[in-house]
Amino acid sequence: MSPYVTMPLAFEGVPEAEMQGRADAFLARMRKRRTVRDFSDRPVPRELIETAVRVAGTAPSGANQQPWSFVCIADPQRKTLIREGAEEEERAFYAGRAGEEWLDALAHLGTDDKKPFLETAPWLIAIFAQRWGVDAEGNRIKHYYVPESVGIATGFLIAALHDAGLATLTHTPAPMNFLNAICGRPDNEKALILLVVGYPREDCRVPAIGKKPLEEIATFL
């Protein structure tokens, strides 16, 4: 067990008169985020990706175990392998594995089993959850609240990439086991999300959908 050691909180407050303006500006910025499926091949500097992953790494996590691995892929050969693996799963999914109810729920998004963006977009970030940790002697270390922790970190990552001026797609080919071999990740890690990152293609269109209003998503007691 590690000892409990403290340090001063370097809390950077915001002057009260500026708080609502800051909150409104952040909302306006986040409202511009859209999930994109038509990517351009315009390159994105690695440093931008590194910075966004550093933001993800600031997320809170169960027991501060930070049970995540972000595999950032620009290598065209690996991207091709990922496209092949994903499209194989997606063909089965759209051909019936999903079931009618699920396919009905997706109809308004216009998705299908073709995933050319997995080769076109400059970066893929495969996000792995470390279901358990491994210590120096190879013993298993229990990890806590893993899906919650990785979900929060992924939210930070998507927000950081958007704020930097990039587009993303939260892609979830299922199952994603094929990613472990391509990304060289061990068995204790499970791929949760494949984030596609880049610029939208000039002629990119997105589904005409909106977000629920506050009244529908929040209750104040």
Q: Return residues touching ligand IYR (CB under 6 A).
A: 90, 93, 106, 109, 111, 171-174
> Between residues 18 and 112, which has the closer beta carbon with respect to ligand IYR?
112
Nearest-5° angle of CA 96, CA 98, CA 102?
120
Q: Could you tell me if 171 and 157 are in contact, meaning their C-beta atoms sit under 8 angstroms apart? A: no
How far is Cα 186 from Cα 40, in angstroms, rounded to an integer?
A: 32
The total number of residues shown for the chain amounts to 221
How far is Cα 62 from Cα 75, in angstroms, rounded to an integer?
A: 32
> Least CB distance from residue 88 to ligand IYR, whole Å?
12
> Between residues 122 and 173, which has the closer beta carbon with respect to ligand IYR?
173
Number of DSSP helices (H) and strands (E) in the chain, helices first: 8, 6
> Least CB distance from residue 220 to ligand IYR, whole Å?
29
> Least CB distance from residue 81 to ligand IYR, whole Å?
17
> Least CB distance from residue 24 to ligand IYR, whole Å?
29
**Strand-by-strand arrangement of the 123-130 sheet:** 68-73, 123-130, 189-198, 167-171
How far is Cα 195 from Cα 197, in angstroms, rounded to an integer?
A: 6
C-alpha distances (whole Å) from 158 to each of 20, 155, 185, 203 are 23, 5, 22, 22
> Between residues 39 and 143, which has the closer beta carbon with respect to ligand IYR?
39
Q: Could you tell me if 39 and 115 are in contact, meaning their C-beta atoms sit under 8 angstroms apart? A: no
**Residue at 67: amino acid letter:** P
> Least CB distance from residue 10 to ligand IYR, whole Å?
39
> Between residues 71 and 196, which has the closer beta carbon with respect to ligand IYR?
196
> Between residues 65 and 111, which has the closer beta carbon with respect to ligand IYR?
111
> Between residues 111 and 120, which has the closer beta carbon with respect to ligand IYR?
111
| Residue whose C-beta lies closest to ligand IYR | 111
